[in-house]
Structure 1
Amino acid sequence: MEKINKRLIGSTNEKIAASYLETCGYIILDINFRAGKHGEIDIIAREKDYICFVEVKSRRSLLFGTPAEAVNKRKQDRIRKVAYIYINQHRLHDNNLRFDIVEIIMENKSLAVREINLIKNAF
């Protein structure tokens, strides 16, 4: 059985999500913003009056729940912490903030994208 490179799939899906967000009117500001040991945010974008911090999650099956359900409270807290570091570094204090999730559901065998869902204000 062929080994799946999760990091490669993740970075590919982040690019797919960024392109999808652009078609939805988002302006991509940053991809894979890392704040040291605090973690990273997959995509940071502007949509109208909002700075959006976007988590990209993908699944090959819904057997264990939707991709968004994998963004648990602990993950949300981590994303918030990194978001505030970004806000401070870029002096964006006067902006509206939002946390979105892009779900990518892939074909099980081919890993082709079957469906993309954007969940605005996910948490």
Structure 2
Amino acid sequence: MTGRIRNWFSPTRLRDRFESWRYGDFDPNAKLGKRGEQVAAIELRRKGLRVIAESESDRAGEIDLIAMDVRRRLIVFVEVKTLATRRPGHPADRVDEKKQARISRAALRYLKRKKILGTPCRFDVIAVWWPTDEPTPTKIEHYEAAFESTIEYSFY
């Protein structure tokens, strides 16, 4: 009995329980892309951002995560790319100009729909390496201000 209690109160277990309570947890049974988005949302919360929308989509396109930096009064549109193999290559390389244009159009429509068009914003990319044989991601990289809006003069 005391062994079970001691294990339950171990420092690593308490830290893990606190982190999952504080920043959220991911669903291990979800599809790879959804798990990547969940882990990216946890990373954003760790950095002090507040996630306000997930998988926001309309006819212009889809935005994986929308977060708010309350201190800077800034809206952050995040594209999450998850790579499941150990082969060389970077997940963020898949955010090409066409994808950037779709994200920019979707972000503009989101800002118009919420009536916050004058709010400063930026576009981030989060790259997640999650091999299929691993229970958790092996590497996460967050690129702040990864690209500019491709729509001229639309955000100013």
User: Which interval holds the TM-score relative to the shorter structure?
Assistant: 0.7 to 0.9
Which residue of structure 2 lines up, in the alignment, with residue 28 of structure 1?
51
Root-mean-square deviation (Å): 1.6
Q: Does 1:71 align with 2:109?
A: no
More displaced stretch, 75-84 vs 11-20: 11-20
- After TM superposition, give the deviation of residue 108 of structure 1 in Å: 4.5
Q: Which of 143, 148, 155 is 1:119 aligned to?
A: 143
Q: Does 1:84 align with 2:88?
A: no
Q: Which of 7, 12, 19 is 2:35 aligned to?
A: 12
Residues 55-92 of structure 1 deviation map (CA, whole Å, 9 limit, x = unaligned): 00011346352111110000000000000000000111
- Higher normalized contact order (CA 8 Å, seq sep 6+, divided by chain length): 1
- Give distance in 2, aligned partners of 1:79 and 1:111: 30
SS at match of 1:120: strand
- Give distance in 2, aligned partners of 1:116 and 1:102: 7
Q: Does 1:40 align with 2:62?
A: yes
- Give distance in 2, aligned partners of 1:62 and 1:55: 21
Per the normalisation by structure 2, the TM-score is 0.69
The amino acid across from 2:61 in the alignment is G
Which residue of structure 2 lines up, in the alignment, with residue 3 of structure 1?
none
Q: Is the 8 A contact 2:86 2:131 kept in 1?
A: no
Structure 1: unaligned runs, 5 residues or longer: 1-6
- After TM superposition, give the deviation of residue 107 of structure 1 in Å: 2.8
Structure 2: unaligned runs, 5 residues or longer: 1-29, 148-156
- Give distance in 1, aligned partners of 2:57 and 2:83: 23
How many residues are aligned here?
A: 116
Q: Which has the larger radius of gyration?
A: 2
Q: Is the 8 A contact 1:60 1:111 kept in 2?
A: no
- After TM superposition, give the deviation of residue 11 of structure 1 in Å: 1.1
- Give distance in 2, aligned partners of 1:13 and 1:84: 24
Give 1 or 2: higher strand fraction.
1
Per the normalisation by structure 1, the TM-score is 0.86
In structure 2, relative to structure 1, the CA distance for the partners of 1:111 and 1:70 (3 Å cut) is farther
Query: Could you list the runs of 4 or more consecutive aligned residues of structure 1 that deviate by over 3 angstroms after TM superposition?
Result: 61-64
